[in-house]
Structure 1
Amino acid sequence: MRESISRRTFAAMAASAATVPLAGCQSDGSGNGNGDGGGNGESSGDGDAPIEYDGDASVAFGTPEDGATAANGVTVSMTAENFTIESSGEVNENSGHFHIVIDEGPVETGETIPNDDSHLHYGDGSTRTVLDLEPGTHELTLQVGDGKHRALPLTDTVEVTVEEASVSFGAPEDGATVESPVAAEFEASDSATVEQAGELSQTGGHFHVMVDTEAVEVGEAIPNDDSHLHFGDGSTSAELELESGEHDLLLQMGDGEHLALPATDEITVTVE
């Protein structure tokens, strides 16, 4: 494994601001991010000006740490110093949004960052997410792009090992006929730790039960309503008040900030 200093990459320029020429990108005609002269870089041939950024700017993973082991989703926090994180769309000086590149390394400066399973965009300005990755070792690269998703040379790279995890209903059994309140039990595999909300770790989370609704997309905040029951106190059992009839119950863990984790279990019960 490489030394930590080689994984933490940021632009170190002698001047107080750096300029990156972005060639081969089409202008949207808005003028956003296009300087009025005074920059020390040259504009690309199609009329787009270089993107200027602070010479002290840097980005980094807050979590996971380099070499971390994760289970049931990789909890990610992203930070920036001397650089503004904002939504995509406009191109502004010293501003952009985060991308995570999985197992492919950073995109060349000035190139448009692809949008696919290996290049995840956070154009809404997000700084927190959860990644659903296959078990094994993965290299994660954090990279900012400007408002047009053009890559800047502000990156950080960590390596994380993902272990398989699962959750399940200990009770009731799938297909059971029960009375309300329904005695429910929740279980997690050995690789996943059940903990209270508010705590963030790479192996922990707390349970939620979805009643007659689908799983929440990984990384999205789990709602708190009658169809999304939270057990942020770390409970592994509960009495569920359900109306008579057939119900689909889905078990899903969330991280300490209630962002959905990948592992789920689903059963159907009939309440008399």
Structure 2
Amino acid sequence: MYLLKVANGLHAMECRDRKEELLTALLHESRQGMHSPEQADSLGRVAKVFGGTGSPDRAGELAHELLDGAMAVTSPSLRSWILYHAADAFLAAEDFGAALTLTGALPEGEEPDFLTNVVRKLVETGDPKRAAQLAGEISGVYGDQESLRYVAASLAAGRDLPGAAALLDEIAVAALREAAMEEVVTASVRVYAPNEARALADAITDPGHRSRALAAIARAHGPTQEGRLLLVEALTLGPWDQLVEATAGVAPEHLFLLADLSRG
């Protein structure tokens, strides 16, 4: 929904009152009519924006509204989808206990993806230990290793690159492992010496992931000879339009050239 993006923009501009007015208007519109998957989806989306813009209490209110709505419908299928959005809303409100309580009532096959989102949210809110425990359970019970990438990146951000690298070795799917390797490199160079991450970047075989990993290291070096050399190597592997931020940090004088290229 375009207006939800506007609400995020208003939050970024610190226009809290206008953001609240817009979301309240969207809520009024979403509440019109009978319970339906579309209505539940709309309420869930608004809850996520409330949670992501500093109003977790409003997200919690919508979670309870969705929960009450689910109990009012007779269709088991519709009820399970409304509960799915309620669980998402509880997650946006950072009420992990309530969100996890609903896991067993979700539509069939949705549990791994939802639990992976819980892991990601736990990492974002600064609870990596609980995130790691849940990620291990997801991998063991469902065989889904997506959540391990978020835990690995959080370890790297906490200056535990060896721990992150060890966790990467547990990811069996090559494509997922390489995506996680890029994220670990990016997280690690934000908090300590970029040279520590170079060996891991060099181990990435996918050109796109390796390009972005090298660009992250280049950006950490800044406008130095090493940074420029890394940026050149990254540009030989992947498209320039994915490396604009790195270019700005390493060779800002070339941004106008990139702007000309973007105009064709």
TM range (shorter): under 0.3
Higher relative contact order (CA 8 A, sep 6+): 1
Per residue, is there more helix in 1 or in 2? 2
| Structure with larger Rg | 1
